[in-house]
Amino acid sequence: MADTNTDTPLEQQEPQHPHKPPPPQQRTTPRQQQRPPGGQQQQQRQVQAVQQNQPRWMDLTVLVPLYNEEESLRELYQQLRGTLSRMNMRYELLFVDDGSSDRSFQVLRDLKRHDNHLKIIRFRRNYGKSAALSVGFEKAQGNLLVTLDADLQDDPAEIPALKRKLDEGFDLVSGWKKVRHDPLTKTIPSRLFNTVTSLLTGIRIHDFNCGLKIYRRDVVKSIKVYGELHRYIPVLAGWEGFRIGELVVRHRPRKYGKTKFGVGRFWRGFLDLLTTIFTTRYFRRPLHLFGLWGLLAVLTGVVIDGWLVVEWYLGLTSLGNRPLFLGGILLVIVGIQFISIGLLGEMISKSQTAHEEYVIKDFIR
Ligand code: UDP
Ligand code: MG
């Protein structure tokens, strides 16, 4: 780059000579040096701030959760290498082996021998995709992070397009498998799941559970994915205030092996939606959710029974043959239980929240 300051002599460009003594008023007396130096604290704070922003020595982490995908791994690795080498970024490839019982780990270790970009985490047992993502998020060193499935259904060639979309001003861009290569038993419930999730959560995207996504570092470090909440990552991030984008991506049929999620995925998926709503919206104030329904139930029960008791008092009815009276009592009991659950929830949420621990068997960097 051309130096635009060529007119000014070098000495004048330098604000201060490095070895010049400080001006007299800035010199510290021995007495001043003994005092607890305020400047030192400030320096420490600065160092801490720098450390908190560190480490930032990678531009991109590609995170691949995998469970028994031995046939796909080499091919996936070659495709990833091809795309990433063209992108001119400092990157790491982080594979999280979610307790595979096949040769996945050995295949990865062989690949690692020739490539320092590769990092492998191996779980002691199968914890699930969310756990694999969660640990990957924690260990990732990239400023950006891309996730994709290991089964070759997601195309690594989409990564540059995802990054361009992110640069339009998003914090997370999720792939949209508009044309899907999956059996109908999977695509139809999935469409239902996506519609309901979008309606209930207010996050307007079409494909919540696409494995292919790109994130900014802040997103990855601030959301907590556990259980089977990986399906709701855009919801968790959107509710944290991050900007969520979407990009149509190419989807391919599964070439080897079979899906790791059976039909159970759908009912578990909807229960997880409840968990997501509860833990993000009501996590710190469970009584607001349970208390409201509890109070409503108690009030309805009291009104019904109160009215029946008045009728009985006036001699208009006998309570013995009125099932409604029992219904009122039931409402009161259920209502009190709801309120109690809410209070218990409050107590739990006020005490320390424990995080799930995953046992890492190997971490090869
Ligand atoms: N996966 C995982 N742990 C599991 C189940 C799946 O890491 O317990 C990985 C799997 O290897 C794949 C991705 O998650 O890389 C998506 O799984 P799959 O292709 O079976 O899901 P589908 O495409 O049927 O939704
Ligand atoms: Mg798949």
Tens-digit pLDDT profile for residues 169-178: 999 999 999 9
Q: Which residue's CA lies nearest to atom 11 of ligand 1?
A: 66
> Coil, strand, or helix at residue 83?
helix
CB of 97 closer than 6 A to ligand 1? no
Whether residue 97 is predicted with pLDDT greater than 80 in this model: the reply is yes
Ligand 2 midpoint to CA 162 (Å): 19
Report the predicted TM-score, pTM, of the whole model to 2 decimal places.
Answer: 0.73
Q: Are 259 and 187 in contact (CB under 8 A)?
A: no
pLDDT at 271 exceeding the cut of 90: no
Residue 98 CB–ligand 1 contact under 6 Å? yes
Work out the pLDDT band at 330, boundaries 50, 70, 90.
very high
Quick one: tokens of 208? 């919540």
Q: Give which of 87, 99, 88, 175 is closest to 135, Cα–Cα.
A: 99
Q: How far apart are CA 248 and CA 207, in angstroms?
A: 10
Q: Is the pLDDT of residue 94 over 90?
A: yes
Confirm or reject: Cβ of 194 under 6 Å from ligand 1: no
Ligand approaching nearest to the C-alpha of 266: 1
Residues 223/201, Cβ–Cβ less than 8 Å: no
Ligand 1 atom closest to 209 (CA): 25
Q: Is 129 in the pocket of ligand 1 (CB under 6 A)?
A: yes
Going by CA atoms, what residue is nearest to atom 8 of ligand 1?
128
